[in-house]
Chains A and B, each alone.
Chain A
Amino acid sequence: AQSVTQLGSHVSVSEGALVLLRCNYSSSVPPYLFWYVQYPNQGLQLLLKYTSAATLVKGINGFEAEFKKSETSFHLTKPSAHMSDAAEYFCAVSRGFGNEKLTFGTGTRLTIIP
């Protein structure tokens, strides 16, 4: 069985500061990992995904994530937060075999302080 754990249901950072959202995974097979963002009253939008090519994955809106097998982590970062980054962020995992269901974490709500 696969699962992801997101540490911190709420994170607040100042505008211009580093954003770090944590995600740890558990998987019996090499995982495929995703970060999605959800703005209020909208659906989920894919930020980036890890599919075993490069361990450092760059996504949209200046976000990136690094796959660390030794730490079973896939943390999301952005060097400088912008007000428009305020949203809920979900980490998800799949086995990646064919088209697979996603298993999501409980989400982290990011607040940006002006």
Chain B
Amino acid sequence: NAGVMQNPRHLVRRRGQEARLRCSPMKGHSHVYWYRQLPEEGLKFMVYLQKENIIDESGMPKERFSAEFPKEGPSILRIQQVVRGDSAAYFCASSLSGVFQETQYFGPGTRLLVL
């Protein structure tokens, strides 16, 4: 039973380029969360999605960042016109059905480096 998959594991971009991070939740999971971990900091919530819906994007920067979780395929976190401050580890987590007290399962993360 495969866990949460994220790719790429490492991504290097130059300033101004676009970064696309993909997350495939565990089989049967329909809820996805994205978190960002800046160097020497804890994980910070960015966005919570269900299939085809954004439920909570209160942690998402207002500009350049977007997320989607289509009916088919992985969830995508997209960062346009990357800047050096976007360098971080981005983690995706998934859960089964969104019920009370459910565990979130984390992927291995994508390490983004902006040159």
Contact = CB atoms under 8 A, between A and B. Distances in A.
A46 B106 CA distance: 9
A6 B106 CA distance: 21
Interface string B39-50: 011111100100
B interface majority secondary structure = loop
Contacts of A49: 101, 103
Given A43-B108, A43-B109, A96 B100 contact: yes
Interface string B92-115: 010100111111111111000000
Interface in A60-114: 90, 92, 96-99, 101-107
B1 to A, nearest CB: 15
Contacts, number: 62
Interface residues of A, number: 24
B42 to A, nearest CB: 4
A42 interface: yes
A90 B99 contact: no
A90 B42 contact: yes
Given A43-B4, A49-B103, A102 B43 contact: yes
25 contacts: A41-B108, A43-B4, A43-B6, A43-B107, A44-B93, A44-B106, A46-B104, A46-B105, A49-B101, A51-B101, A90-B43, A92-B43, A96-B100, A96-B101, A98-B99, A99-B31, A99-B100, A99-B102, A101-B45, A101-B58, A102-B33, A102-B104, A104-B42, A106-B41, A106-B42
Interface of A: 6, 32, 36, 41-46, 49, 51, 90, 92, 96-99, 101-107
